Structure 1
Amino acid sequence: MTRFGYTLMTEQSGPKDLVRYAVSAEQVGFDFEVSSDHYSPWLSAQGHAPNAWTVLGAVAHATERVELFTYVTCPTMRYHPAIVAQQAATLQILADGRFTLGLGSGENLNEHVVGQGWPTITRRHDMLREAIQIIRELFTGDVVDWKGEYFEVDSARLWDLPDVPVALAAAVSGDRSVETFAPLADHLIAVQPDREAVDAWHHARRGTGLSGDVRVIGQIPICWDPDRDTAVARAHDQFRWFAGGWAVNADLPTTAGFAGATQFVRPEDTADAIACGPDLDAIVEAVSEYWKAGFTDIALVQVGDEGQERFLDEAAGPLLEKLRSAAG
């Protein structure tokens, strides 16, 4: 059965609002909730970037049923992997086993703030691979000493370990990242409905003797509103950065850079990329590309803080019914 999730979009809402939305999303019937982990919004119009881990700790206590994910945390620059391991173990305890640690190689937008530059994609993948190995070691509860190519760990131990081990999900975008991370992570994260990537992930895991219940977790933006013109305007104002694709999105360092890069993106271009307006069937059609590509879990991003409560109160329940009926 396909599971449907709600995105706690830290770039567009403040921390107290995010916790309220998390509670409402659980009550309306979403299966899981994912949180972005940003130091900066994509565009100034979004206007927020609270600390994801603080928010998730509050969400863990405010909710009871929904699974929780980071989507995604970069454990290589802004955070040392030893700190990510501690954060994840603590959050898993607070969430009573409902948390999955989603990891990725990051975006310049968030990681440049610590003044360490921005490595090439090959180096970022190598750093992420080493970080995952360190996190896995720390999750054993043993004392860890590590001296690798990118990180050092000196006599570190996690003193509070959850009864339910923290599963790891890795964000991938190409053949090399699939080959690198399929043997290291439990689950796959991808933001494009790419059947070939999903099949390659399963093939790579089988090739190393790994099996088990592998989840494929995707995400898609939507902009529901009773008025389509309002929805298109909101999506263009706050989500036109999405048109650049991840090869571009990973490398731009500032909101000003994203504003400049997207200055010629028209509202109709945004509407072509994102389902906008009151038509729930059109949203279902857009989301269906993911389960057809083999995704087991699909998180929705309702664009914009304005209208978020109305989406949860009026549209989310009927939309979930339609999605579950269509996905079978």
Structure 2
Amino acid sequence: MRVGYFLSSEEYTPEELVEQAVAAERAGFEALWISDHFHPWNDEQGQSAFVWTVIGALSQATSLPVTTAVTCPTVRTHPAVIAQAAATSARMLGGRFVLGVGTGEALNEHILGTPWPSLDVRLEMLEEAVALIRELWTGEVVTTRGRHYSVDTARIYTRPVEPPPIYVSAFGPKALEVAARIGDGFISTQPDADMVSAFKEKSGGRPAAGGVKVAWADTRDEGVDHAHRLWSNAGLPGELAQVLPSPQHFEQASSLVTRESTADSVVAGPDVDEHVQQLREYAAAGYDEVYVANMGPHYLPMIETYGREVLPALRT
């Protein structure tokens, strides 16, 4: 299983993201994920850089592959624009780029004032968007009028030698069906062996990539404090993360998430064995890749310790 580092655009400045990527490559991480948001989930996180600018910087600062985890190519940004941005990113990264896509969240996609569609409509939009992106990546002039998207004599001139893979995020059975049908790979944030197995069976064995967050600190209590202060939204149940429209709504809902609940759900502190065990759970679930994000200010000690102890333990 390949282990990469997950860059959280919602918590860290663009400069810190590049610093983390450089440190991750030096420590032995094998690839990068980077999130694509317009808003953070709450004001405490406090950041949300334009992902395509940061990817340009990453292409010059490291030699690691980069995946967006994930971009929504359906509401806030037209798929033709995503196709151009992804093609340029893949070119600058020498082909080491994967476009990770998903149906998105109202938090980021409502900002232009359009209604937030139902899940079935969002999946339909995603499937049409992915098909359009791939058509544009051929370099041909494209004119088409679909149910959701139209382009008029559009052509992408700056392209990589080969079009990048498209991985699709999925968190339920309907989304999994679409991911297996249109995706070159699968993205999730849960060590769910049933989901991974179902995707691989339906897709003919295509790869699966998982993401996880940890809170490195000198003590477990300090790590839990950082996780709860910054990422208590991760404890919200059901579809709330897809429908709440603003950081303020997430803060209101997250007030119901207790510190004890956060402590029960996150690996926090400096116990290397706990960090190793969590990654082994992703390997046991069948993931081909896993990406680890840090929560809180101690990202450099986390990256360095993973390089010295966690990654070698996984590879033995």
| Cross-structure match for 1:145 | 143
C-alpha distance in 1 between matches for 2:89 and 2:202: 30
| Cross-structure match for 1:34 | 33
User: Could you list the runs of 4 or more consecutive aligned residues of structure 1 that deviate by over 6 angstroms after TM superposition?
Assistant: none
C-alpha distance in 2 between matches for 1:324 and 1:168: 27
C-alpha distance in 1 between matches for 2:266 and 2:137: 39
Matched residues, number: 316
| Cross-structure match for 1:236 | 228
| Cross-structure match for 1:292 | 284
Paired residue for 2:274, among 282, 286, 290? 282
| Cross-structure match for 1:63 | 62
In the alignment, residue 200 of structure 1 is paired with which amino acid? A
Under a length normalisation based on structure 1, what TM-score does the superposition of the two structures give? Answer: 0.93
Deviation at 1:316, TM superposition (A): 4.1
| 3-state SS of paired residue (1:142) | coil
Q: CA RMSD in A?
A: 1.3
Paired residue for 1:266, among 258, 262, 267? 258
C-alpha distance in 2 between matches for 1:25 and 1:274: 21
Deviation at 1:205, TM superposition (A): 2.2
5+ residue gaps, structure 1, are none
C-alpha distance in 1 between matches for 2:305 and 2:277: 19
| 3-state SS of paired residue (1:44) | coil
C-alpha distance in 2 between matches for 1:216 and 1:72: 14
Q: Does 1:308 align with 2:307?
A: no
C-alpha distance in 2 between matches for 1:43 and 1:316: 30
C-alpha distance in 2 between matches for 1:137 and 1:100: 16
Closer, same or farther in 2 for the Cα pair 1:204/1:315, shift >3 Å? closer
In the alignment, residue 245 of structure 2 is paired with which amino acid? P
1:276-301: CA deviations, max 9, x gaps? 11111112222222111110100001
Q: Does 1:202 align with 2:200?
A: yes
Question: More deviation in 265-274 or 129-138?
Answer: 265-274
Question: More deviation in 125-134 or 160-169?
Answer: 160-169
C-alpha distance in 2 between matches for 1:202 and 1:313: 33
Identity across the alignment (%) = 37
Alignment of 1:151-190 (within 5 A): 151-190=149-188
| Cross-structure match for 2:211 | 219
| Cross-structure match for 1:123 | 121
1:168-220: CA deviations, max 9, x gaps? 100011222222231211111111122222222222223xxxx6xx2200001
Deviation at 1:246, TM superposition (A): 5.7
In the alignment, residue 16 of structure 2 is paired with which amino acid? D
| Cross-structure match for 1:48 | 47
| 3-state SS of paired residue (1:13) | coil
| 3-state SS of paired residue (1:78) | coil
1:11-38: CA deviations, max 9, x gaps? 0011111111111111110011000001
In the alignment, residue 104 of structure 1 is paired with which amino acid? G
C-alpha distance in 2 between matches for 1:303 and 1:198: 25
